Structures are given as C-alpha cells and as structure tokens.
Amino acid sequence: MHRPRCIGADGVEEAAYEGAAVKTLQCFLVGIAVTTIGFPAKAETLKKEPAMGALKEGQVVFVDDGTCPAGQIKKVIGGNHVKAGGYKHIERIRTCVAR
C-alpha cells in the first residue's frame, strides 16, 4: 500500500499520520468556531411577555402565558419601534408555534 508523503514547512518529510492529525485538529477548531459564532444563543422561556422596549431588535423569547392553544407556545421577536423608545418602525412579532 502506498503511503502518502507530507512535506513540512521546513522541507522535511513528515509522517503521513502527523499531517492527518494536524488537519483533523484544524477541521475540529473550525467546526467549533462556526458552531459558536454561527448560531445565536438559545431563546429564553418566560412566564409573561417583557415590557415594551425590553427586548432588543431581533431577540427571540418564548412566552408560556397560556394565550396559545394546547401544545403551542408564544414566540416573540423583539422590534425597534418609535412608540417604545426605538428609532425605527419595526414592531414586535408574536406567533404561536409548536413546543
């Protein structure tokens, strides 16, 4: 079986498994970075909806206040409306979603 050659930065041949280990570590670290940076934090579940102006624009919270049908929960996405002290005309979005 032919073993692949791996030449290091200094021009010296390294063992193929050492190169594979480094490549695996690089892929692992990139995966961790993408997972950490690429996905927002988990949304909170609250008993009552926060006051106007308390949520950041785009912030998502789930509210279990009994206003949605059985098996569903209210999903609230924060806005940035001038009526609540914001500077845009983006209102809060409220929808019932499956738990």
* pLDDT average, residue stretch 75-94: 88
Question: In angstroms, rounded to a whole number, what is the distance separating the alpha carbons of residues 79 and 50?
Answer: 12
Q: What is the pLDDT of residue 39?
A: 45
Are residues 66 and 87 part of one domain? yes
* pLDDT average, residue stretch 75-97: 89
Residue-wise pLDDT for 32-78, tens only, equals 655 545 444 567 799 999 998 899 999 999 999 999 999 999 999 99
pTM given for the model: 0.55
Q: Which amino acid, residue 21?
A: A
Better-predicted residue by pLDDT, 49 or 6: 49
Question: In angstroms, rounded to a whole number, what is the distance separating the alpha carbons of residues 24 and 42?
Answer: 28
> Is residue 70, in this structure, part of any structural domain at all?
yes
Are residues 23 and 66 part of one domain? no
- Please, where are the H alpha helices in 12-99? 16-38
Return mean pLDDT, the chain. 78
> Is residue 29, in this structure, part of any structural domain at all?
yes
Eight-state DSSP code of residue 13: E
